[in-house]
Structures are given as structure tokens and as C-alpha cells.
Structure 1
């Protein structure tokens, strides 16, 4: 059973605050993506009337980055997220406590 200490509440608050900041950053990036890609699409149509849809290259490249940002912001990455980091740190600390004279690489 885990007690809700002041330190535990502060840690949970800081983690939640960090996650909200990541979400806010993602939504801001999404708005800029929509506005800028819409502008590029309009510019593409204005200059060559879709004969070559070059704006899709920018949309695709930036979209890939946006997907990775969403994965991080909404904690969709099942591997190597914050809980994985915390478990790994605890595991390594426990290992060092068990074998204090050995160093791992």
C-alpha cells in the first residue's frame, strides 16, 4: 500500500504538470501545422493548379514529426516511457544495492 505523502503528491503534481505542458505543446504544433499546410496548399493551387502537389511533401514530413510528438504527449509509446524509466532506475539501484562492489556497463 502506498501512502499519499506530501512528497508523493508533489511528484504526482510535477509529472501531471509536465504532461500537460507536452499536450499543450502538441496542440500548438497541430494548429501551426493546419494553418501552414493549408497556406501551402493554397499557394500550390495558386501557382500551378495542382499539376504538381508539392505541398504534400511538407505535409508528410511535418506530419511524421507531429505523430511522434503526439506519441510522446499522450504517452502512447508502450516502451521507454516515464514509467519504464522509473522501473529501470529502480532496478539498477536495487542491483547496485545487492552487489555494491560491481559496476555494470
Structure 2
């Protein structure tokens, strides 16, 4: 049986994971907004139209590449794994327990 202390430690760990993700997300938005804003202003000062300045690859490259990292951080934090679901884990556990029992029974 699990004690309240163990439950609390697990809950605290989960909260730390969530805080880490949300801090990462806030930093992502703030830094990318600042970088993109500076890039757009610099492009406008170089004579580009607002549309040209906005749709420059460099304006959104950081958003995209860092966004991949945010995506995987979110998948890990929120336990969103389409390949290794809880059902898959339970089937594998049952499979290995059954195999172990067969091996044990073989030598009885």
C-alpha cells in the first residue's frame, strides 16, 4: 500500500514537471516575440515592406525549430505518447509476467 508521503512526493514531482513546461513555454513566447519583433523592425529599416519583413524565413525560423522542442517537452510532460500508451504498457507487463510464470512452472 502506498503511503501519503509517497503520494505527496509523486504529486510534487508532477507539479515540478508542469512548472518546468509552463516556464519553458513562457520563455519561448517572450524570447521569440522579441527576436521576431527585432527582425521585422530591422527588415523595415532596410527598406522592405511590412509584408516582406513579416514573411521572411528568418522571422519565424526560431519559432519553428524551438517549437519542435516545446512540442516534445509537452508530450513528455503530459504523457502523450501515441506509440507506448498505458494499454500497451499493461499488455507488455502481462506478457512478461506470463512468460516468467511459464519459466517458473517449467522447473517445478
Q: State the shift of 1:97 in Å.
A: 3.3
Q: How many residues align?
A: 96
Q: 2:79 aligns with which of 75, 79, 88?
A: 75
Structure 2 CA distance for partners of 1:97 and 1:16, relative to 1, 3 Å: farther
Q: TM-score, normalised by structure 2?
A: 0.66
Question: Does 1:59 pair with 2:63?
Answer: yes
Contact 2:75–2:81 (Cα < 8 Å) also in 1: yes
Stretches of structure 1 that go unaligned for 5 or more consecutive residues are none
Q: TM-score, normalised by structure 1?
A: 0.67
SS in 1 for 2:81: coil
Give the helix-richer structure, 1 or 2.
2
Between structure 1 and structure 2, the one with the greater Rg is: 2
SS in 2 for 1:77: coil
Q: State the shift of 1:40 in Å.
A: 0.7
Name 1:17's counterpart in structure 2: 12
Name 1:34's counterpart in structure 2: 29
Q: Pairwise CA RMSD of aligned residues?
A: 3.0
Q: State the shift of 1:27 in Å.
A: 0.4
Structure 2 CA distance for partners of 1:75 and 1:94, relative to 1, 3 Å: same
SS in 2 for 1:22: helix
Task: Give me the whole-angstrom Cα distance separating, in 1, the residues matched to 2:17 and 2:81.
Answer: 14
Structure 2 CA distance for partners of 1:80 and 1:16, relative to 1, 3 Å: farther
Stretches of structure 2 that go unaligned for 5 or more consecutive residues are 45-52
